[in-house]
A and B are shown apart, each in its own frame.
Chain A
């Protein structure tokens, strides 16, 4: 028995069965597309929420006030020490004068005269420090505080821990929901493929009767499941892309949702394509294998 012509036979049977049983193939592809779209949309929403939270976290900064005894040059020189601290993403020096200007600019133009004659020396030089990982904000603030020449550090740890908690909860909820959706998808698709297989139980029975091995019977179904899954994932991906672009345009055009910044699809399309392709193929092949198992027990 030549392996070469068997392989081409499996491929040929897989493809031709897909067309011969057009309606059931259409049903299996349709269910795959629907499941991937629901799962994909949910995942992309979760991803965007996560990114949005991450951006908001990045705005959270530590203010490190310089000791009054240091002159301008000595104060500015501290930037190297702070930049060398782990988890520090960026450091910006703010002079007394800049700090005063920023403080005054918070008030209305008409009220600013009350600050006339106010000396910048009432304020301290300071550094605005942004961190990479917000959950380590407390430790980073303590390290900055320990730098010689830093008088005091102000970090909004409560806000930071709030963001961390929110992100953790969102991640757990998303992972749980995506896992549930994935299992439901496999269940629905394997049942759909089981229906297509049920339609062909006579063919399987004939193959068994003439002495076909289980492996020989199984392969065309595996290829068929593979192709159905791949086709479903391709259609699902294109629809997901269209849906994402539609929502992204709607969000950017909306006045009430200006704060929300969606990640451009061009940045994530390859991840989405890989996940859709892999999920579709796994669902198709696994669905076929579980569906056919029952009919092979003769």
Chain B
């Protein structure tokens, strides 16, 4: 479960990125977080992953209080979250299998566990048979599937996707969202940060709208703001 209570974040340069954010995402939920550039979406992700600490307020992520978290606990907290980025962030010198095994090895998984887990996850994201391909041999959609597989491979309770379809065409974007929806149905909490409202509207999910560091809308209804204001 993710819970933000009156969270504020002011950066050293004086920018107020978050101004009193309060929200709660329950286990197993699928939530879209939308807003234009500078609305505070990235700061929310960085706060969730422990990259930045809030200036005020309380943040709870999967049982960890990020206000009191020690340096030793941060890696343990991060193991509960799988992060997906717009630019995939795959290691170009490693093939698909190695990219996934690298992520498993990084948390100390045994070779046996790696051999068992990777084929299952690759099958789940529709990349069975692609394990020996290198990232540059895959399409953008396939690369994002590898990134999703990597986020899933350590069996996190939450997936956080930061603009996962930003580099993809509409058809591939829709497929990626469907894949995330399928993963959510298997019990994983999914938080998708995006500015693509047209895509978001095709899925009847909870939408949290951010503007200038504040939540201006939260619910399953269609957001009030027109699309062009955000892009």
A residues engaging B (CB < 8 A)? Answer: 1-2, 5-6, 9, 20, 202-203, 205-214, 216-217, 298
Give the interface residue-count category, chain B.
20 to 34
Interface flag for B128 (CB, 8 Å): no
Contact of B79 among A5, A211, A298 (CB under 8 A): A211
Residue of B75, B82, B150 near A212 (CB, 8 A) is B75
Known: A1-B108, A206-B102, A298-B51. A211 touches B75 (CB 8 A): yes
Listed by A's residue number, 20 A-B pairs whose Cβ atoms lie within 8 Å are: A5-B111, A9-B105, A202-B89, A203-B102, A205-B89, A206-B89, A207-B106, A208-B75, A208-B78, A209-B49, A210-B106, A211-B75, A211-B76, A211-B79, A211-B106, A211-B107, A212-B75, A212-B106, A216-B106, A216-B108
| Secondary structure class of chain A's binding surface, majority of residues | helix
Is A206 a contact of B79 with CB atoms below 8 Å? no
Q: Please pick, from B79, B93, B110, the residue contacting A210 in the complex, using a CB distance under 8 A.
A: B79
* Distance of A6 Cα from B102 Cα, bound (Å): 12
Tell yes or no: B91 within 8 A of A by CB: yes
B91 touches A202 (CB 8 A): yes
Most buried by B among A9, A212, A216, A298: A212
Q: Which residue of A lies closest to B72 (CB)?
A: A213
Q: Quick one: CB contact mask for B184-216 with A, threshold 8 Å, 1 for yes?
A: 000000000000000000000000000000000
B111 / chain A contacts, CB cutoff of 8 Å: 5
- Contact A2 to B110, CB < 8 A, known contacts A210-B78, A210-B103, A211-B76: yes
State the CA gap A294–B150 with chains docked (Å): 25
Q: How far is the CA of A298 from the CA of B53 in the complex (A)?
A: 11
Tell me whether B83 is interfacial, beta carbon within 8 Å: yes
Q: B75–A5 contact, CB under 8 A?
A: no
Contact B83 A212 (CB under 8 A): no
Q: Output the nearest chain B residue to A17 by Cβ-Cβ distance.
A: B93
For A203, give its contact among B72, B76, B91, B107 (CB under 8 Å). Answer: B91
CB of B158 within 8 A of chain A?
Answer: no
- Per-residue A-contact encoding for B35-75, CB less than 8 Å = 1, 0 else: 00000000000000101000000000000000000001001
B residues 95-127 touching A (CB-CB < 8 Å): 102-103, 105-108, 110-111
Residues of B close to A209: CB separation below 8 A: 49, 78, 83
In the complex, A9→B109 CA distance in Å? 11
A142 to B72: give the CA distance in the assembly, Å: 70
B107 partner, pick from A5, A212, A214, beta carbons under 8 A:
A212
Tell me the smallest distance from the CB of A61 to a CB of chain B, in Å: 69
A9 to chain B, nearest CB (A): 6
Q: Is there an interface contact between B93 and A20, defined as CB atoms closer than 8 Å?
A: yes
B residues within 8 A CB of A217?
106
B49: chain A residues at CB < 8 Å are: 209
- Bound together, the chains give a CA A190 to CA B82 distance in angstroms of 33
Task: Provide the bound-state CA to CA distance between A207 and B74, in Å.
Answer: 13
Query: In the complex, A5→B108 CA distance in Å?
Result: 8
Complex-state Cα separation, A1 to B72, whole angstroms: 16
| Residues on the A chain within 8 Å of B72, using CB | 213
Apart from A2-B110, A202-B91, A211-B79, what 7 extra A-B contacts exist at CB < 8 Å? A1-B108, A5-B110, A206-B102, A208-B78, A210-B78, A211-B107, A212-B107
Q: Tell whether B143 is near chain A: CB-to-CB under 8 Å.
A: no
User: What is the minimal beta-carbon distance from A31 to any residue of chain B, in angstroms?
Assistant: 23
Task: Out of B79, B82, B108, name the residue touching A6 (CB < 8 Å).
Answer: B108
Tell me if B110 and A213 are in contact (CB < 8 A): no
Query: B154 an interface residue at 8 Å Cβ cutoff?
Result: yes
Give bound CA distance, A187 to B51, whole Å: 30
Residues of B contacting A298 in the complex (Cβ-Cβ under 8 angstroms): 51
- Which residues from A are CB-within-8-Å of B105? 9
Residues of B within 8 A of A2 (CB): 108, 110
User: B80: shortest Cβ distance to chain A, in Å?
Assistant: 8
B75, B103, B111: which has the most chain A beta carbons within 10 Å? B75
B102 adjacent to A211 (CB under 8 Å):
no
Query: Across the interface, do A210 and B91 meet the contact criterion of CB distance under 8 Å?
Result: no
Minimal beta-carbon separation of B107 from chain A (angstroms): 5
Contact A210/B51 with A202-B89, A203-B91, A205-B89 known, Cβ cut-off 8 Å: no
- Which B-chain residue is minimally distant from A206 (CB atoms)? B89
Contacts of B75 in A (CB 8 A): 208, 211-214
